[in-house]
Amino acid sequence: MTPSYMLSSLLHLLYPSICLGCFNEEIENTEFLCLDCLLQLPYTGFEKIQGNATEKMFWGRIEYRFICSIFYFIPGSPIQQIIHNIKYKNEKELAIFMGRLMAHRIQLLLQQHQIDFAIPMPLHKKKQYIRGYNQASLLCEGISEITQIPYNETGLKRIEHTSTQTKKSRMERWENVADVFEVTDIEMMRGKNILIIDDVITTGASTEACAQTLLSQGAGSVSICSLAFTL
């Protein structure tokens, strides 16, 4: 993140009617970016590309309907700051706003694939308690506002790491990632076309584990959409 961007971010907190990107344009209080800055965000266009880079990560790993990311995660760009703020700075309204942006991009896919509901990538209970919220749930909230597709925050949970796991080597823990989700409401998942919503996809390991868990518990299909994709 650039110092000037940190400054504009701070100023946006003090003066919410100023664009978070350029700190020039006046905007509505409920918006975060002016039209120019919105258009300059690093959109991937993946939602229109079959075999896009996010999708390729999951080839041969899971069965899916569609997979895409909306933005490239570019270090130093406003998108990095936005993600930082929604994860660690309690900027819940910003997360919902980004969810709305995602919704406009994937609306057609949701219809085509008859998505029944979205599931936010669950956080560890402890992490969510400390943070006070799950940013992926807030993305879902924004998506739901625009598309009317409901979301389910309780049907899937992360299983807590046991103390023995923390003693394992990094590589062993990495392998353990594959087994950290649990469906709490199997009836609700049965036969449903489910969309997993994540903030950033980096290796895809957790998202894959999440999808596998849903499929093994009777989900009809899974699709995945993340706010950002790490190059």
The residues that touch Zn ion, with contacts defined as CB under 5 A, are 19, 21-22, 25, 34, 37
If the CB atoms of residues 5 and 181 are measured against Zn ion, the closer one turns out to be 5
Residue number with CB closer to Zn ion (97 or 181): 97
Structure tokens at 207: 């998202």
C-alpha to C-alpha distance for 56 and 60, rounded to whole angstroms: 9
In whole angstroms, how close is the CB of 214 to Zn ion at the nearest point? 38
CB of 27 to Zn ion, least distance (A): 8
**Distance of closest approach, residue 21 Cβ to Zn ion, in angstroms:** 4
CA dihedral 76, 107, 224, 197 (to 10 degrees): 70
Residue 196's SS3 state is strand
Q: Is the dihedral of CA 220, 123, 180, 188 positive or negative?
A: negative
Give the span between the Cα atoms of 58 and 33, in whole angstroms.
32
Under a CB-based contact definition with an 8 Å cutoff, are residues 64 and 58 in contact? Answer: yes
Amino acid code (one letter) for 218: G
Nearer to Zn ion, 19 or 119 (CB): 19
Q: How far is the CB of 38 from Zn ion (least distance, A)?
A: 8
| Residue 102 DSSP label | H
* Shortest distance in whole angstroms from residue 138 CB to Zn ion: 22
35 or 159, CB closer to Zn ion?
35
Smallest distance, Å, CB 81 to Zn ion? Answer: 13
**Whole-angstrom Cα Rg for the chain:** 18
CA gap 54, 56 in Å, rounded:
5
Comparison of 33 and 121: residue with beta carbon closer to Zn ion: 33
Residues 65, 223 contacting (CB under 8 angstroms): yes
Per-residue exposure over 52-61, b if at least 16 CB sit within 10 Å of its own CB, e if not = bbbbebbeee
Kindly state the smallest distance separating residue 41's Cβ from Zn ion, in Å.
Answer: 10
Comparing CB distances to Zn ion, the nearer of 26 and 160 is 26
Query: 19 or 196, CB closer to Zn ion?
Result: 19
